[in-house]
Structure formats: C-alpha cells, structure tokens
Amino acid sequence: MIIQILYVLLALLGLGFLILIHELGHYFMARRVGMRVEVFSIGLGRPLCSWTFQGVQWQLGVLPFGGYVKIAGEKEETSHAGKPLAEDTFFGKTPWDRIKVALMGPTVNIVFALLLFTIIWLSGGKSEPFSRHTNIIGYVDVDSELYAKGVRAGDQIVRYNHKEFTGFKDLLYASVLKQQSLDIQGNKIDYYTQGQKPFEYVLTPYKDPRSRGGDFKTIGVLSPASVLLFAKPPADSDFPFDQSPMKESGIVFGDRIIWARGEMVFSMTQLGQLVNEQKVFLSVEREGKLLGVKVPRVQIRDLRLTQQQKIELEDWRHQIHSKAMVKELFFIPYMISAYGTVETSLAYIGEDAQEHTIYDEDMDAILKAGDRIVAVDGVAVKSAYSFMEAMQTRHIQLIVQRGFPAKELTWKEENEAFARAIDPHHLRQVVTQVIAGESSVSVGDLHALRPVKPILLSDLPLSSSKKHWLLQEITAQQERIEKIQDPALREQAMKALDRQKQKLVLGIPLGDISVRYNPTPFVVFSQVLGDTAKTLSSLFTGKLNPKWMSGPIGMVQIIHHGWNVGVKEALFWMGAISLSLGIFNLFPLPALDGGHICFALYEWIFRRKVSAKAMEKLVIPFIALLIGLFVYVTYQDILRLFSRFF
C-alpha cells in the first residue's frame, strides 16, 4: 500500500513537472525578448502559497493540474490613454517575439519527450510484454466473419489497411474510430507442418461482444498472442501451488502451455474458452488410425432417447455406482456399445435451447458408426461404463514446451521466434501419443502433462482478503445487473454472471514473457507523434468519441502504471504525454498557444492587429469548450477508475 501511494505521488509529480517545463518555456522566452512577467503559477485556482522573486509572483494553485504565465499587457492591445503599450508588455512586442513566446512552451515539451526517448534508448531500451508488439493472433471470435473465412488463433496479420501491422493497438484504434471497413492481409500458419498460406480480406467491424455499451467494434480478433508461461512467483507471493489442481500434472516453473484439448493455444482468452467449453475431447480409433475429436458434452436429460437406450444408460449408471439420477449424468449425443464403439448419433437440446442433430456425413471429425472410443480428455477407457464414469469429471490434457525462450528476444525477432519455436515433427509425435491415451510423454522439449481436473474460480486457493474481494466484485456486478431496466438485457447480463460464477480455471498463474524493445528515439518519437496526430484529428473530425480520451486523472493513472512496471516505462509514458501536450497546444485554437501564433501571423502578414473585441469573441467560446472537454474527460476518467472497483 505504501509503495502504491508513493507511485501515485510520483505520477502526480511527473504530470506537474511536464506542466512546469511547459510554462518555464514561455517564461524564459518572455524574459529573453524583454517582456515583463507578472505571475508564474503551477496549478489553477486560488493560490495555496505565493512568493515574489525577481519581480515575479510565483504561486502554487489549489488544483494541481494546469498552470499559466501571466505577462504584462497580455489582455489589452493599447493603454487606457489610447497610446501604444509599453515595450515590456506582450502586445508591446513584435509579432515575431510573441510567436517565439507562444511557441517555446510546446517546443520544450516536444524536446523533453525526445530527450526521454533518447535516455531510454541509450540505456538499452525497456522490457515490454510479448503480446504488445506481436502480429500473431491470440483468439478469434467464433461468430465473426474472420472465423468463417478460416482465420484462427496462431495465424498472422502482416498488413492493416495497406500499412505494416505493428501490433494489437492498430485494432484497438479501429475499435474506437468509426472505420467502415478494414483490409487485413496475413498468413494462415499450420504449426504441425510450419506451412503458411497468405490471405487478404476486407472486413466490416461489428459490435465487440465484450463491450457492454456497444461502443467498441472489432473484426473478430479479440486478443493478441502471448506466451503462456508458468513463471515462478515472487518470494512474497501468497500463491499456494501445493493446493493447485496442476500440482500432480507434472508441470514445472518455466513451462509454456502450447496445446490443450486438441488445439494449439495462443492466449489466455483461448485457454479459458477451451477449459470451459461444453465439449469433450475424445481419442477414437477409426479404421486402424487414432484421431482426436471434440463433441458436445450434454446431460442425459437433454438427449432424445428410446426406452431401450434409457434402460441401457441406467444399467451403466449402476455399474459406476453413481448416486445421481441418470438424467443428471453427462454423456455425448451418440449411443455406444458396451465395448465403447459408436453405434448411432442422437438428437439433443443445446445451450441455445434448440434441438440439434449431428450427421455423420457433415464432417470427417464427427464420430462415425464403428469408431471405438479409447480415451476421454486424456483418461483411458475400455468399456461403456468406464466411458460414462470418465464423462462425469472434466479433465484437461495439456502439452507444454520447456525452455522457451532460450535467450532474451527483441521485438524485431519475437514473431519469427514464436512461429518457429516448436519442432513440427516433435509436435506431431507428442500429440499422436496423447491421442493414444498416453500421459507424461516427452519428445524433445515438448512434454504431455497428466490430465488435470479444473476447479471453480470460487474454489481457488486464495488468501481470505482476495476471496473477500472476489465476493464483493460478484455482489457489485449483481447489484448493477438488477438495476438494468430492459428485462431482456437484464436476463442476458444475469446469465453472463452465472457463467462467470461457474467459470473453471486451472489454478496456476500464467504470465507473458518480456521482450527487449529498443528502437531509435526518432522512431519512437515518430510513432507517438503519429498516434497523437491520429487521435487528435479523429477527435476533431468526429471519428473518435471524446469519452475514450484521457484527462488529468487518466494521465496520472498511465504514469502510475509506468512506475509499477519500472522506471523506463514511467519515463516512456512521461515522454508520450509530454509530446501529446506539446502537439495539442500547437493546434490553431484561440485558447491555445497555436491560437496566439495564428493571431500574431495574421498581424505580421496583413500589418494590422485582430481587434480586442474580435479576439474576445473567438477566445471565450473556445475556453468554454476546452473547460467543457476537460470536465468531460475527467468525468470519464473517474467512471473508468471506479468501474475497476465496483
């Protein structure tokens, strides 16, 4: 707690420092051209304290955000007697002098940003998560057009709207900017053969299924790829590995999860979906070959059964000594023989409350008559009743890679290293043995773990304080849902909450690896400049909703996050914010430095000043507009802040 408070103070000081150097730029240039500075204020509102030095009143405002330099004669063009103002006043100087004063504040911010980026570069760069710069997809929405076109997790995006794809932030921009279509180029990658097949699709963004208000849009890519590494927790961590269901699996610190229930795994989102999907992974023998098949896992009450089939299932229930009623047990939408051979498919009621039928001819992967089931989620079975017994407990079969990465990766090589890290021959071997029902298999650096029984999120071995926080979070969500007026939306939200309560987890922390990010300071500068220009231009053209902008509170949060990660991360965000402040102030709006520059240029070119009344009519509305924007984005910052806790 003390450390977090310290980081908040450092964040506040960092933002205050950026404002300070901006105003110092104005101050020193004003003094240099001979203007008389009356007040130098850090912060706005009533002064908390003030003192006089070199004829200037220095003060600290009650509001820690903002600041100003008051120059003599800044509010009037002529003296009260109608004579020209004294030479040491703002309008007593030439237009070029006024331009230099207005320009110096933003210039200091811009130069300071470049200085910070240079310091980071000279110190060897900073560590960033693999997922920040990767072009490999981590999860694709199964209901998206992109998924229907065959793009899956693990595939690669190379170009985005005819530009190089630099990372997931490109898609985040698209989620808040009102773009009508996106051109995506990339490669479909087969990790079992290392083959690649290029693709290009023009896609229409749609409402992101994770967006509550519908403000965010997506093309179907819901997360970037990450390295699911089981890293050793810090010494002060309260993670009780001895109580985790993964303890007996054979996993060791440093293992990277790469495969689960028949699929290569590329993100936490995908792994969570595989752990919780209402399907079972079966190992079946078909015409002398073994293959893995995923089929629905349903309760027997949802199967359309004949009376004879019901009697047979009841007999198997007795053989496994289950105390539950047969209709409450889990099965698959197929009838099997006493020896575990598939006989016929069955109609069933799915999660959508609709009746479904699986036809053998639809897909080669669907079970066919004559298939013999040899394992259920990695648990070997030899008869119908052992199959039924295995169906009652969910298990997850995992394959891990040991020793990745062998060395620290840079952001330039991470995608190639990720795509080529797994030997396809070893992968095919270990997957084949897993499908055969074997466990604790090792081939090269790949290792099949023993089947794991996931647990409910609420059953995680957490400390009492964390369990209390989790309970409070669920209670708060339920209270918010109960306040929803629309009955359909309320029911939908309540179902989502129920699914969250029943969420299954593996019970171990998985973290992404770090890569070394160290482009030249000019590259970083141009990237941040481009992002800032894109954001501001989208704001003024109406493509960006102001609610997604950050105000002072958001800036403090960003710098605070940087301090949590490390000094270099904090310096980077200070540089990015400093550059954004500098660019924003150069916009040709009457209330900003760019507006003062435009007024001076007008006078310089046309040899006449803008009248005081005209300037007032221009400046006052824009001041009101900026104050309104300031209040609005601050309000949105507060909403986002509190949404993390309630």
β partners of residue 97: none
Residues 116 and 193 placed together within one structural domain of the fold: no
Both structure tokens of 184 = 């995506």
Residues 119 and 135 placed together within one structural domain of the fold: no
Residue 485's pLDDT is 78
pLDDT digits (tens, 9 = 90+) for 144-183: 999 999 999 999 999 988 888 888 888 877 666 666 788 9
Residues 94 and 137 placed together within one structural domain of the fold: no
Residue at a domain's end among 174, 203, 225: 225
Residue 599's pLDDT is 84
Enclosing H/E stretch for 101: helix 95-122
Residues 158 and 48 placed together within one structural domain of the fold: no
Average pLDDT over residues 129-136: 91
Residue 365's pLDDT is 53
Residue 271's pLDDT is 95
- C-alpha distances in angstroms, 249 versus 65, 258, 451, 454, 487? 53, 15, 7, 11, 44
Residue at a domain's end among 225, 255, 287: 225
Give CA–CA dist 198/190, Å, rounded.
12
Output the CA angle 523-110-36, nearest 5 degrees.
170
Residues 60 and 135 placed together within one structural domain of the fold: no
Does pLDDT of 478 surpass 80?
no
Residue 207's pLDDT is 82
Does pLDDT of 362 surpass 60?
no
pTM of the predicted model as reported, rounded to 2 decimal places: 0.80
Q: Are 18 and 581 in contact (CB under 8 A)?
A: yes
Residue 361's pLDDT is 41
Residues 116 and 194 placed together within one structural domain of the fold: no
Average pLDDT over residues 256-277: 94
Residues 48 and 94 placed together within one structural domain of the fold: yes
Q: Is residue 466 part of a domain?
A: no
Give CA–CA dist 580/595, Å, rounded.
17
pLDDT, greater one: 439 or 511: 511
pLDDT digits (tens, 9 = 90+) for 370-379: 999 999 998 8
Q: Is residue 410 part of a domain?
A: no
Q: Is residue 275 part of a domain?
A: no
Q: Are 284 and 312 in contact (CB under 8 A)?
A: no
Q: Is residue 175 part of a domain?
A: yes
Does pLDDT of 49 surpass 60?
yes
Q: Are 600 and 103 in contact (CB under 8 A)?
A: no
Q: Is residue 580 part of a domain?
A: yes
Half-sphere exposure of 135 (CA within 13 A, CB side): 21
Residue 106's pLDDT is 92
Residue 574's pLDDT is 84
pLDDT digits (tens, 9 = 90+) for 446-464: 999 999 999 887 777 666 6
Does pLDDT of 299 surpass 90?
yes
Enclosing H/E stretch for 517: strand 514-517
Q: Are 167 and 185 in contact (CB under 8 A)?
A: no
Give CA–CA dist 27/101, Å, rounded.
8
Nearest partner of 41 among 22, 86, 103, judged by Cα: 22
Q: What is the dihedral of CA 144, 150, 153, 154, to 10 degrees?
A: -150
Q: Is residue 17 part of a domain?
A: yes
Q: Are 381 and 336 in contact (CB under 8 A)?
A: no
Mapping DSSP to helix (H, G, I), strand (E, B) and coil, where does residue 583 land? Answer: helix
Cis peptide before 405 (omega within 30 of 0): yes
| Boundaries of domain holding 133 | 128-225
Residues 148 and 182 placed together within one structural domain of the fold: yes
Q: What is the DSSP letter of 322?
A: -
Residue 65's pLDDT is 62
pLDDT, greater one: 457 or 30: 30
Nearest partner of 467 among 238, 131, 285, 179, judged by Cα: 238
Residues 572 and 632 placed together within one structural domain of the fold: yes
Give CA–CA dist 559/10, Å, rounded.
8
pLDDT digits (tens, 9 = 90+) for 337-352: 999 999 999 998 877 6
Give CA–CA dist 14/561, Å, rounded.
12
- C-alpha distances in angstroms, 391 versus 32, 68, 431? 82, 70, 21
Does pLDDT of 553 surpass 50?
no
Q: Identify how many contiguous H helices and E strands the chain contains and give both numbers.
A: 17, 29
Please state, rounded to an integer, the average pLDDT across all residues of the chain: 82
Q: Is residue 253 part of a domain?
A: no
Residues 143 and 107 placed together within one structural domain of the fold: no
CATH code of residue 214: 2.30.42.10
Helix axes 487-501, 464-482, angle to 10 degrees: 160
Residues 562 and 635 placed together within one structural domain of the fold: yes
**Catalytic site positions:** 23
Residue 80's pLDDT is 46
The 10 Å Cβ neighbour count of residue 140 is: 26
Does pLDDT of 433 surpass 80?
yes
pLDDT, greater one: 149 or 492: 149
Number of domains in the chain: 2
Residues counted in the chain: 646
Residues 111 and 32 placed together within one structural domain of the fold: yes
Which of 453-462, 520-529, 617-626 shows the lowest per-residue confidence on average (mean pLDDT)? 617-626
Side chain identity, residue 397: Q
Residue at a domain's end among 207, 225, 243: 225
Residue 119's pLDDT is 94
Tell me which range, 87-91, 101-105, 170-174, is most confidently predicted by mean pLDDT.
101-105
Both structure tokens of 447 = 């290792």
Q: Are 477 and 501 in contact (CB under 8 A)?
A: no
Q: Is residue 280 part of a domain?
A: no
